[in-house]
Structure 1
Amino acid sequence: MQATNWWSRCSSTCRPFPKTYRRCRSTCQNWPAYVLDNLILFKDSEGPRSLLGGMTGVGPMPPGPSAGGAALGVNPFLPFDLNVLVDNSGVEKMPIIIIEPNPNWGNLFGRIERRAIMGTYVSDHAMLKPGAAHLANGGYLVLNARDVLMAPCAWEGLKRSICNREIRLEEPAEQTGFFIPQGLRPELVPLDLKVIVTGDESIYRLLTSADNEDFWDLFKVKAEFDSQVSLNEENMMAYCSFICRTCADEVLLDFEAGGAARVMEFGARQVADQNKLSTRFGQIKDLLIESDYWARKDDSNTVQDHHVMQAINQKIYRLNLVEERIRDMVSDGSLLLDVTGEEVGQINGLAVYDLGDFRLGRPTRITAQTFVGREGLINIEREASMSGRTHDKGVLILSGYLGAKFGQDRPLPLSASLCFEQTHEGVDGDSASSIEIYALSSSLSGLPLRQDIAVTGSVNQKGEIQPIGGVNQKVEGMFDVCRTVTGLTGTQGVIIPHQNVKNLMLRDDVVEAVREGTFHVYAVKTVDEGLEILTGKPAGKANAAGVYPKGSVNHLIAKRFGELNDSMRGYYQGVFANG
């Protein structure tokens, strides 16, 4: 009767699928023959007799197992059981979207489980378990590229399944030659799904170059997600919506308008752009949770702007130990750095150190020495194998700039050395190229440079200042050193490229100091503008004859090149005369 009821339900379900219907019907027709051939599996045992039967206080022995299948641990009704591999009866929304966080072979394509019976492992159709590909069949499967590539055989199996449009439930160990007891060969499952693989740009480029035979054919659509968005009314409303949703999901206090504004200001600082907002919402969520903590500790009913600032400052405090140690070394004189006075051939440059979870700006002394010779510019960092390619390029640009400006009618007999003082690690980046020009110009002209002003900015061969990265950390690094070593004198400041003004998202204390005139930020477009700020003298512009105004910085540099040229000529004339 149970088989009849089952067949009635099964036939009504399978009739729309003729092939499945025929197979189910054939299976049901074979059941009587199977039962007759295996009657021993269904027989019940009378149970063992007790040798103490009839004695007072001794009960009968418990019933024993059946004579056949149950005695061996086999369910005699197993062939009549159904294994519903995928049950979508509870799915409420379509299409189905499956996100697999651990895409190894078993989690992707299913597995064949086993049980131990009499010293061996056996399996049956009821022990077939589905994978993410089965669950997502007819919908979407979302995977992380790095996780799939790290799982053995998973990437090749995924490509094979997509290409053949079928899921093969098998043991991956069989492909490596291992012996698998009682292997099942389940029939192939037709596959119809969309696979979405997420990852960073480097993994995408790796796959397009190393796996281009299959990758281009299988994954045809590439979608890029930016880490920043424009700062406009629509995105600000979206930011506020994200704040509200996070507060609801994490049971946080409501944010006041000032607190939400601080969060958006933090997002703008993360991308260092006054017109952009960060879309790295993991960092924003962490800030919201920590701000809520400080608001609750303050017994506030809402999160206000000073709670957000406290969360930001506390995070900086947990990470800025290296920055504090550098300031201490400057204060006690271990790191030589002047933030007052003037020096010839010496200038304060600005560097950024990236520690992974924290970036800090550090002022660094850069010196230049010039003398008679033909060696040209000597980059001490390069000679010591401590210079990166970008920094080497920046130094080579200096030769082009000096030659174009002062070597049009005569050769430049110059030997000069450039050095980042007290740096014991590698130097890279071209943001110091303009600084090195200022140091060289000071050494050649004999004019001292202000030490209370630090400089950053790259330069091209035409003397135009170009933008750099990390401008906020660089400005704040100089500000902190000045405030710690001597206090703000009202003359200290930083020279930055004019293109980086839009990237300024400075701390409140730095903004307040600039507003009060105790600290300054100068934006320059050319090398000459920077020279005028650092020397206090006009840079000078050449007339039609190529002559610079007397007393200008460029006039003194040109004059010094003339003296070096005469010195070299006199030296070689003496050598030839003494032949």
Structure 2
Amino acid sequence: MPKAKPLSASRLRTRFPPERIPYADSTKIPLSSKARPPQPRALQALEMGLTVDDPGFNVFVAGEANLGRTYLAMDFLRPRAAKMPEPGDLLYVHNFLDPDRPRLLRMPAGGGKALKKELAKALAALRKEIPEALEKDAFINKRETLVRSFQDRREALLREMEKIAASEGFDLDVDDQGGMTLYPLVEGKVVSEQDYDRLDPELRKTLKKRGDAIMSEMGRSLRRIGKEESDFRQDQRTLERAVVKDALERHLRPLRRKHARNKDLAAHLKAIWDDVLDSMDQFLPQDAAAPSASGPLAGLEAAAAEDFFTRYDVNRFVDNCATKGAPIVFEDHPTPANLLGSIEREAEMGALYTDFTLVKAGALHRANGGFLVLRIEDLSQNPDAWEGLLRALRSGKSRIEDHGGTEDHARAKTIQPEPVPLEVRVILVGTDEAYEALLAMDDRFPKLFKLKAHMQDTVPRDPSSVRHYLHSLARIIDETRLPPFDRTALAAMIDHASHMAEDQQKLSLQLPTAREVMIEAAALARRARRRRVEGGDIAAALANRKFRANLYEEEFLADYDRELIKVSTSGAAVGRANGLSVTMYGDHEFGLPHQIACTVGVGHGGIIDLEREAELGGPIHTKAMMILKSYLLGLFAQDKPLVLTGSLCFEQSYAGIEGDSASGAELAALLSALGGVPIDLSLAFTGAVSQSGEIMAVGGVTPKIEGFFKVCSQRGLTGSQGVVIPRDNVTHLMLCDEVAQAVEQGRFHIHPVTSIEQAMELLTGLPAGRRTRGGAFPEGSLYRRVDERLAELARLAKAFGKD
């Protein structure tokens, strides 16, 4: 087996040569709306969402945070929405047939504002001109003529009735309220009620009989008077209607002609026309109305009069007069009211009151005819809003409901506005986990969100992607108004993108994180009074960010330095190996070395995973331990039983352990304990092992190496220290300059391996050995010692079993 050679410093990280950037600085990079991060799946899904005219093809933008998911969606939609037609205005108006169900009117964009202004002007003119017309001399003369004519006819009928009464010996008395009383005449004199009671009973009887007969005859005359009065009232009403209708012809008829093609609006204007005629009393002059109250009641009457005229108002529910193209609405607080609209209330005399003017639009209505962008994590905090959104999308209509009522309190009287037809495309932004959860838990979701815009975390580091990345950096600089970035700064940002991707051959698309670094670097350049940002500013900004977050890392390193945490970086020991792990504190990731210990003895207990026994090991770590047993069985249990008792653990580990990246180091400690061969503790080992002994790639290899390097450098580099890593992880190395410099000077080494045999040769200095045709391992090899020890353990276990 070929011996693993340490890596040269040039392979520990990649550096983009600044001279390869074809621009002197960022100001020379052309800004283009088409220069977006390479997200082919997401962009195709968004494009399809705009192309397919089907209500179920809404889009879910799926990806991890810091990928600029919302920015990408908004940036994609803006130029396309600008070329789309503006949606019309939506208006709520009074329903004269059923006031509890306001009607919805649709008008071209800006039409609602004009209509509200025109109606208000017409109503103001009616309220001014109708009372004035009713007080003009011409109208008053006509009304007085009607009054005199009616009074003359009434007086004539009364005189006729008096004559009839007089001919029968009675006097007719008519009071101011039109009441009539008959008084008998005896000897030409009116008999009072007291005198009437003293008359002879027979005479009283005769007078009463005659009076009843007269009253019966006068009933016909009274009915004639009532009819005359009714005709007078009707004629007076007709006269007033003519005045009101004349005013309507001047002020409302032009509106009816203008909007005759809008059938719904034309019907509403006719309803206003009819209602004004039916409600003329509201337009009468003050002295013509009923006597008004004084004091506080006068104010209430005035308010009630104004409330009456509210019915002619227009609620500009959605006003698109200032909208250019299709609207794009991003709602970051999607409560039921903010998203689905609401019915507000006002307090009136201690009671809650509402009408069509208090119906408020939500983001769903403002986005109608365009696009609504929502974050799923915001929606998850408002289940009622999510349910309402799904119902609206499924039915194609949005019903504005009263969100204030609860079962615990008596519901106040409310209204039911006409539903709003929807033509909106919804863009949801969330993680892959949220998408999978919705797909599994809500069968409505896949029917309404058929398009998944899947965003990728990284792209290959090729010329095309670098060009796209530079354009993205230029847009960030322009939008954030940062000073220009020179070639060295742009190259440093490209290298930082590979560092975030943890891969020399890829670029991270976490542009929001890159933007933060650029802002800090620009601040440092301004502080130094430089007009351009340089590569040193990027390095300083990254160092500052690390310093602000690495307090716990420094404290851990201090514990290693004081040997409170026992990890040897020199010497050798049997059954001991240095493993590496990655720790996260907040957003700071760093590596730490751990001592892995193994003991082996006689018995049938097998290999005991102390982490699992203590319930500190996760399922992946437990599986890795089982793979170690499988490796031993496959290699050493072909001609004998595998009988032993051993234990493996992480020394001074008090937290949970998960993952298989330490399985290589654990197998190394086990083989060292079995063979009695010491492991060089100046080397640390990270890598997962397969059942065949292959060393496989692991995550976080860069911080792991840097963590062990820091512990070694604090104690003094000896020139023999280093880290053993899987060869597959070489492309993932993005090590800091300090490590690269130490490797270049031969003071630290990175050893890539492909198998556990290569690793053991580095760690022990012995050849691992392979079975010969005779079935034995070569003399002096590590596996010969392990095989012999296992055979000895099997014999001892058998002997003790017989005893």
TM-score, with structure 2 as normaliser: 0.66
Once residues 566 and 6 of structure 1 are traced to their aligned partners in structure 2, the CA distance between those partners, rounded to angstroms, is: 112
| Equivalence for 1:147 | 378
Structure 2 residue 313 is matched with structure 1 residue 81: yes
What pairs up with 1:416-435 in 2 under 5 angstroms? 416-435=646-665
How many residues of Structure 1 are paired with residues of Structure 2 in the alignment?
A: 557
User: Which of 243, 254, 261 is the aligned partner of 1:8?
Assistant: 254
The answer (yes or no) to whether the contact 2:618–2:656 under 8 Å persists in 1 is yes
Indicate the structure (1 or 2) with the bigger Cα radius of gyration: 2
State the shift of 1:154 in Å. Answer: 0.8
Further displaced range: 453-462 or 228-237: 228-237
Structure 2 residue 267 is matched with structure 1 residue 22: yes
| Equivalence for 1:203 | 434
- Secondary structure of the residue that 1:84 maps to in structure 2? strand
- Secondary structure of the residue that 2:725 maps to in structure 1? strand
Once residues 35 and 278 of structure 1 are traced to their aligned partners in structure 2, the CA distance between those partners, rounded to angstroms, is: 73
User: Which of 419, 440, 443 is the aligned partner of 2:670?
Assistant: 440
What pairs up with 1:225-374 in 2 under 5 angstroms? 225-374=455-604
| Equivalence for 2:279 | 34
| Equivalence for 1:497 | 726
State the shift of 1:528 in Å. Answer: 0.2
State the shift of 1:296 in Å. Answer: 1.6
Aligned residue type for 2:476: T
| Equivalence for 1:56 | none
The answer (yes or no) to whether the contact 2:606–2:645 under 8 Å persists in 1 is yes
Percentage identity across aligned positions?
Answer: 34
Aligned residue type for 2:274: Q
| Equivalence for 1:510 | 739
Q: 1:11 to 1:143 in 2, by over 3 A?
A: farther
| Equivalence for 1:525 | 754
Once residues 565 and 289 of structure 1 are traced to their aligned partners in structure 2, the CA distance between those partners, rounded to angstroms, is: 66
Q: 1:547 to 1:19 in 2, by over 3 A?
A: same
State the shift of 1:9 in Å. Answer: 4.2
Once residues 238 and 204 of structure 1 are traced to their aligned partners in structure 2, the CA distance between those partners, rounded to angstroms, is: 28
Q: 1:327 to 1:68 in 2, by over 3 A?
A: closer
Aligned residue type for 2:353: V
| Equivalence for 2:222 | none
The answer (yes or no) to whether the contact 1:375–1:415 under 8 Å persists in 2 is yes
The answer (yes or no) to whether the contact 2:607–2:648 under 8 Å persists in 1 is yes
State the shift of 1:498 in Å. Answer: 0.9
Deviations 1:166-191 (A, max 9, x none): 11112123464643433122111111
Once residues 600 and 753 of structure 2 are traced to their aligned partners in structure 1, the CA distance between those partners, rounded to angstroms, is: 26
- Secondary structure of the residue that 2:315 maps to in structure 1? coil
State the shift of 1:149 in Å. Answer: 2.4
Once residues 764 and 273 of structure 2 are traced to their aligned partners in structure 1, the CA distance between those partners, rounded to angstroms, is: 99
State the shift of 1:400 in Å. Answer: 0.4
What pairs up with 1:90-169 in 2 under 5 angstroms? 90-93=322-325, 95-169=326-400
User: Which of 550, 553, 561 is the aligned partner of 2:790?
Assistant: 561
State the shift of 1:419 in Å. Answer: 1.2
Q: 1:35 to 1:203 in 2, by over 3 A?
A: farther
- Secondary structure of the residue that 2:624 maps to in structure 1? helix
- Secondary structure of the residue that 1:30 maps to in structure 2? helix
- Secondary structure of the residue that 1:335 maps to in structure 2? coil
The answer (yes or no) to whether the contact 1:65–1:71 under 8 Å persists in 2 is no
The answer (yes or no) to whether the contact 2:609–2:649 under 8 Å persists in 1 is yes
What pairs up with 1:184-203 in 2 under 5 angstroms? 184-203=415-434
Once residues 495 and 6 of structure 1 are traced to their aligned partners in structure 2, the CA distance between those partners, rounded to angstroms, is: 90
Gapped runs of 5+ residues in structure 1? 50-62
Once residues 202 and 387 of structure 1 are traced to their aligned partners in structure 2, the CA distance between those partners, rounded to angstroms, is: 25
Deviations 1:2-52 (A, max 9, x none): 25556534653461x434433433333322213336758998999999xxx
Q: 1:571 to 1:64 in 2, by over 3 A?
A: closer
State the shift of 1:239 in Å. Answer: 2.0
Deviations 1:262-304 (A, max 9, x none): 1121121112111222222221111011111111222222111
Deviations 1:447-467 (A, max 9, x none): 111111100001111001111
Structure 2 residue 416 is matched with structure 1 residue 173: no
Further displaced range: 65-74 or 225-234: 65-74
Q: 1:287 to 1:13 in 2, by over 3 A?
A: farther
User: Which of 183, 191, 196 is the aligned partner of 2:414?
Assistant: 183
The answer (yes or no) to whether the contact 1:41–1:70 under 8 Å persists in 2 is no
The answer (yes or no) to whether the contact 1:47–1:64 under 8 Å persists in 2 is no
Gapped runs of 5+ residues in structure 2? 1-120, 124-249
Q: 1:402 to 1:10 in 2, by over 3 A?
A: farther
State the shift of 1:518 in Å. Answer: 1.3
Q: 1:502 to 1:205 in 2, by over 3 A?
A: same
Q: 1:10 to 1:529 in 2, by over 3 A?
A: farther
Further displaced range: 548-557 or 141-150: 141-150
Q: 1:152 to 1:398 in 2, by over 3 A?
A: closer
The answer (yes or no) to whether the contact 2:579–2:685 under 8 Å persists in 1 is yes
Q: 1:145 to 1:372 in 2, by over 3 A?
A: same
The answer (yes or no) to whether the contact 2:282–2:305 under 8 Å persists in 1 is no
Q: 1:275 to 1:7 in 2, by over 3 A?
A: farther
Aligned residue type for 1:151: N
| Equivalence for 2:213 | none
The answer (yes or no) to whether the contact 2:272–2:312 under 8 Å persists in 1 is no
| Equivalence for 1:409 | 639
The answer (yes or no) to whether the contact 2:281–2:289 under 8 Å persists in 1 is no
Further displaced range: 80-89 or 237-246: 237-246
Q: 1:534 to 1:6 in 2, by over 3 A?
A: farther
Q: 1:6 to 1:112 in 2, by over 3 A?
A: farther
Q: 1:25 to 1:346 in 2, by over 3 A?
A: same
Once residues 85 and 292 of structure 1 are traced to their aligned partners in structure 2, the CA distance between those partners, rounded to angstroms, is: 45
Deviations 1:176-212 (A, max 9, x none): 4643433122111111212121111222222222222
- Secondary structure of the residue that 1:195 maps to in structure 2? strand
The answer (yes or no) to whether the contact 2:607–2:646 under 8 Å persists in 1 is yes
- Secondary structure of the residue that 2:380 maps to in structure 1? helix
State the shift of 1:96 in Å. Answer: 2.1
State the shift of 1:114 in Å. Answer: 2.1
Once residues 388 and 631 of structure 2 are traced to their aligned partners in structure 1, the CA distance between those partners, rounded to angstroms, is: 58
Q: 1:309 to 1:403 in 2, by over 3 A?
A: same
Once residues 273 and 607 of structure 2 are traced to their aligned partners in structure 1, the CA distance between those partners, rounded to angstroms, is: 91
The answer (yes or no) to whether the contact 2:252–2:273 under 8 Å persists in 1 is no
Aligned residue type for 2:269: C
Aligned residue type for 1:420: F
Q: 1:81 to 1:281 in 2, by over 3 A?
A: same
State the shift of 1:561 in Å. Answer: 1.4
State the shift of 1:441 in Å. Answer: 1.0
Once residues 799 and 358 of structure 2 are traced to their aligned partners in structure 1, the CA distance between those partners, rounded to angstroms, is: 97
Q: 1:82 to 1:69 in 2, by over 3 A?
A: farther
Further displaced range: 419-428 or 23-32: 23-32
Say which structure, 1 or 2, has more relative contact order (CA 8 Å, 6+ apart).
2
The answer (yes or no) to whether the contact 1:108–1:131 under 8 Å persists in 2 is yes
